[in-house]
Amino acid sequence: MRMTDTSDLWWKTAVVYCLDVETFMDWNDDGIGDLAGLAHRMDYLAELGVTCLWLMPFYPTPDRDDGYDITDFYGVDPRLGHHGDLVEILRTANDRGMRVIVDLVVNHTSDKHPWFKSARSSVDSPYRDFYVWVDEPPKNEAETVFPGVEDSVWELDEKTGQYFLHRFYKHQPDLNVENPLVRDEIAKVMGFWLELGIHGFRVDAVPFLLEPTEATGDGGYGDPHDYLKTLRSFLGRRTGDGILLGEVNLPRAEQIEYFGGDNADELTMQFDFVAMQKFYLSLARSDARPFAEALSARPDIARQSQWANFVRNHDELTLDKLTESERQEVFDAFAPEEHMRVFDRGIVRRLPTMLDGDPRRIRMVYSMLFASPGTPVLFYGEEIGMGENLEIPGRQSVRTPMQWTSDANGGFSRARASRLAAPVVEDGFSPEHVNVADQRHDPDSLLQFMRLLIRTYRNSVEIGWGDFSVLEQPNDAVLVHSVSGAQGRMIAVHNFSSAPAVVTFTVPDAGPSTRLIELLQSGELALSEKGEVELSLGAYDYRWLRIADDSTKRLY
């Protein structure tokens, strides 16, 4: 697949925004967000600076797992609209310079999917081998994804007397991806949405998709990664610049395989779960070193590949890659009560509530997100500092309606509260206190700050393309790092502590005309003859600094 022109690699400098249509904007006032509502908010996303819109599942579903239990991979849930509405979204996005990606959830289906309904009706069903069946579960069966909710990954189907595999919920039977007919169907699903104008897919739970089961072995189909290469090749043939953004929550040594090495012929992008978890450990300790070490330890990847950085996503804030003692530190700091945790590994709160609403600390976190090497991914509502509703159980607590105004239901819908897709937040982070309308007119709001960050990030393409290095300085609470490449050079400074700090560092390859230009505010910093800079930082302070000299020809 040809990938030589940097204009093809739009994802290297993208701003990805994830939303659930069901909770974003309700246009017909039935209590459920819809595609028409999203269409009327596309200008808001464009003004924010979003360049890639990621739509969570909008397919027909019984909605027992927030749409990830799908009954028709080719359809649109009629509660949300129809294909014509989606095409209008794609047209509107393209007009505003935005690409759209959608969730590809092909690990499993709903147990209400016609394939499974047929498969369980008879052992002779043509769809029987679309799923994984055994007479008896293996003795050493795999662990369930949801400990405490499911106690096995095998469920007895009483009609046929066999067990079916479900690594997730029992109402989500796993597809047998080793079956060539299933693979053909997955290619057809991808091809269908690409023909409508989708620019790629966020691929759900990739390791489970590729994992051979004890019941089937490898099915004679060889290395599962060859199948991932096949999907990437198919995407390349159908669209020259489409992406596969993969959810691969594995240790780095295993995760790196999913990029496809130097050939970059598997996943285009992967979420960096390791760095995210170390970031929260740094926040809990007021010590930048765990996060700095995680970034420094990233394996080298091909030019066409990219890490996706995030602070929060739609699932629980998983801490499974931390040690037990480290995880407990983060729990103690940000989820001290048991109902704030789930699955013994994750937190069900959003960032602002975890940080007690401290605007200094919240802004430092997002400054760090956008300054980190890679591509930033936002979850809807982060740009205004939305909280969660802990009255909603589990990971659903962060999937509350978008807060547009201070009106009833946060301006999300004029339906009765009892009819809403999810209850709104009702504490100090309720729409009365946190909403788009108020922040659009407040120059000091988080929304305006996020717009500034996004503009500055988009003008600092070296963040997505350049080489990362930590600059030495003596304060453990402060991270000073540089990113540099052919596109330019910059330095970012972040204080993870409430204590003010004075740091001194040396600018790499500084010459007589080198100067540091502030990017998030006006001003310049002076360098000593040795290229050193002394910088005073307040509590949770942050700075972005362009390294410039007499030959620099760019706007700051």
Distance CA 477, CA 498 (A): 9
Q: What are phi and psi of 54, to 5 degrees?
A: -105, 115
Q: CA separation (Å) from 106 to 19, 51, 235?
A: 20, 26, 16
Catalytic entry in 66, 247, 266, 315: 247
Q: Do the beta carbons of residue 425 and residue 431 sit within 8 Å?
A: yes
To the query of whether residue 391 is one of the catalytic residues in this protein, the response is no
Q: Do the beta carbons of residue 390 and residue 339 sit within 8 Å?
A: yes
Any idea which residue has 């795999």 for tokens?
142
Catalytic entry in 204, 266, 315, 388: 204
Distance CA 69, CA 20 (A): 14
- E strand intervals along 267-320: 269-271, 306-310, 317-318
What residues form DSSP beta bridges with 480?
493
Q: Beta-carbon neighbour count of residue 339 at 10 Å?
A: 12
For residue 530, with 0-12 CB atoms within 10 Å meaning exposed, 13-18 middle and 19 or more buried, which class applies?
exposed
Q: Do the beta carbons of residue 194 and residue 235 sit within 8 Å?
A: yes
Amino acid in the structure at residue 415: A
Distance CA 315, CA 476 (A): 31
To the query of whether residue 247 is one of the catalytic residues in this protein, the response is yes
Distance CA 198, CA 100 (A): 6
DSSP codes, 313-342? -SS-EE-TTS-HHHHHHHHHHH--SGGGEE
Active site residues: 204, 247
